[in-house]
Amino acid sequence: MTTAWGGVLPEGQSTGDSLQYLMAAACGVIAGWIDVRVGDLLFTAMIVLACCMGLGFARPRKPWRWVVLVGIFVPIIEWLAYVLLAYKPERAQIYESFLSFLPGIVGAYGGAFGRSVVNNLLSNK
């Protein structure tokens, strides 16, 4: 089995993305919390972009998973704040929280592309 950076793993071992999945969930929760506290979708989008870019660079295989994991928490946290807290956003705010997927897509695929560029530059061909 080969890893994302071209190394070979012994038989029976996997790369183990559980730390990255945990980081993606934490980044999504933080982005959602910032969206609730600050209320600025552009700032939230920049956080989602940076998180997805870092995760896409770290694990470039299947970058769409980072978009889903980070982006889904923004509307979930918005909904939880509506249900559990005294914070009552307008309907437009809830719908616009789904727009955080767009910078997430750009970030994750940009990070994966950046990783492939670095791999090509550092290869010994």
**What's the pLDDT tens digit per position in 89-111?**
777 887 888 888 999 999 999 99
Could you tell me the CA-to-CA distances from 69 to 20, 45, 117, 121, 125 in Å, in that order?
A: 10, 14, 25, 30, 36
Q: Tell me if residue 14 falls in helix, strand or coil.
A: coil
pLDDT (tens digit per residue) in 14-67: 567 889 999 999 999 999 999 988 888 899 999 999 999 999 999 999 999 999
Identity (one letter) of the amino acid at 56?
G
Predicted TM-score of the model (pTM)? 0.81
Bigger pLDDT: 75 vs 6: 75
Helices 41-58 and 101-122: crossing angle in degrees, nearest 10, is 30
Q: What is the DSSP letter of 10?
A: P
